[in-house]
Amino acid sequence: MIAERMTHLAADSSYTLEPVEAPPASQPKIIPLVVISPVRDESKYLRLTMDSMVAQTWRPAEWILVDDGSSDATPDIVREYAAKYPFIRLVHRQNRGFRKLGGGVVAAFNEGREHIAQTSYLYIAKLDGDMSFGPFYIEKMVGRLETEPRLAAVSGKVFRYEKDRFIEESHIAEQVAGQFKLYKRTAFEDIGGFVEHLSWDGIDVHMCWMKGWETLAVYDSQAWLWHHRIMGSSDKHIYEGRLRWGRGNWYMGYHPLYAIATGLNRMREKPVILGGLMMIFSYFWSGLKGLPRYENPEFRRYLRAWQMQRLKRFLLRSPDSRH
């Protein structure tokens, strides 16, 4: 397994990675955590994720991997690990015939919830099958949830490999990583779980805030998340991803000015300029086509008020904050 130890080199969010071998934990602490992983054709990186999990010092009581119609060796890999580690279980889901981004992932996650055996769990997490993380990751994350009563969800910071270095994915400090979201059960149930749509991993965070909870992506040298399969690694997928992002912003209920500001901010990322323009175009095109929006007027009012406040703070050069 590859566990990561990252050293901050510069203020531009570039890092160096020193892989460290971490064997399976010999005496892990079993905690009331259920992890659910929707997986589909993950054989290239899945062993990294599974090796990271079995190396954890704090191990979940149950890890359910939902095979969402894989055509590769994904279910065989899960069965191999499940034979060695009883806390791992494989659940098969009927093949829909294609990878459905966003909503499909949440649908598979929800099916995993229906198979939870450890019904007294206190924490629940959604984990992708293309991640790796150090052996103290869960200990660090659950530790934060245990000590901070209003903290609903937490993750480490996510890094991706780009141009011969590791780059931190750009998000505000409170944006919990969608690749490994770890929730208090009470908070997760309070917000009604995840929405089956592209914007599920933005809606849940804002819903937490609306209901008085807090969320946090933690900087911790023992709790980095390393994302191996980067969506948009080819030009075609990058362009599709930016269009999809714009549609997601429309569905979520973004204020038009904030949708424009978001696109402008993303123009500095690959593909430079064009990617941000595509996000803006897709947002307004979705509106012209009359695509559906998240059916929660109270949420949309809250989101737009938060966005306008954030834009105002930026224009006045106030310290960056979601409050």
pLDDT digits (tens, 9 = 90+) for 79-115: 999 999 999 999 999 766 555 555 889 999 999 999 9
Distances (CA, A) of 167 to 130, 160, 177, 239, 296: 17, 5, 15, 20, 35
Q: pTM of the predicted model, to two decimals?
A: 0.88
Residues of the chain short of pLDDT 70, as ranges, are 1-21, 95-102, 230-236, 318-323
The CATH number of the structural domain formed by 2-227 is 3.90.550.10
CA-based nearest residue to 135, from 59, 61, 62 = 59
The pLDDT, as a whole number, for residue 16 is 46
pLDDT of 99 reads: 55
Q: How confident is the model at residue 1, as a pLDDT?
A: 35
Token digits for 283?
């947002």
Which amino acid does the sequence have at 243?
A: L
pLDDT at position 97: 55
- Predicted local confidence at residue 228, as pLDDT: 85
Count helices and strands (H / E) in the chain.
10, 15
Where do the H-state alpha helices sit in the chain? 46-54, 74-84, 103-113, 137-147, 185-190, 200-210, 235-252, 256-265, 274-289, 297-315
Domain with CATH 3.90.550.10 in the chain: 2-227
Q: Residue written as tokens 């064997």?
A: 23
